[in-house]
Amino acid sequence: MKTTYLILAVLGFIAPNIPVVKESYETGNWLFWLDPQATWNGMFGNAISTAFIIDLLVAVFVFFIWTYQESKKYGIKRVWLYWVITMLFGLGGTLPLFLYIRETKKAIA
């Protein structure tokens, strides 16, 4: 599974960030952080995007709690880096990256 997680991490970082880079270049709102109002309006612009963003935010919150517990359990250091990467680049790449590191730690233990 380690190789699968690593491939999914690469895909999870590249695929969703193609439109992010395009939008960042076109609007100057780099990684959706430089213009919070535009980002907020885009995320909650209609009922469909609102439903998706709420679901994603709940998943990210659960991921933060789970990674904290798993990092203690398997001795994964600097779990906060995974949280920062999630906030900058999204959950799609960070979750499989954490799973890859976790599998590596489990194999050592």
Band (108; pLDDT cuts 50, 70, 90) = confident
Q: Rounded to the nearest 10 degrees, what angle do helices 2-27 and 91-108 cross at?
A: 150
Taking the C-alpha atoms of residue 47 and residue 90, their distance in angstroms, rounded to an integer, is 21
Locate tokens 């690469």: which residue?
10
Tell if the pTM clears 0.75, that is, is over it: yes
Q: What would the pLDDT profile of 61-85 be if each residue is shown by its tens digit?
A: 999 999 999 999 999 999 999 999 9
Q: What is the pLDDT of residue 37?
A: 93
- Domain residue spans of the chain: 2-108
The Cα–Cα gap between 20 and 88 comes to 11
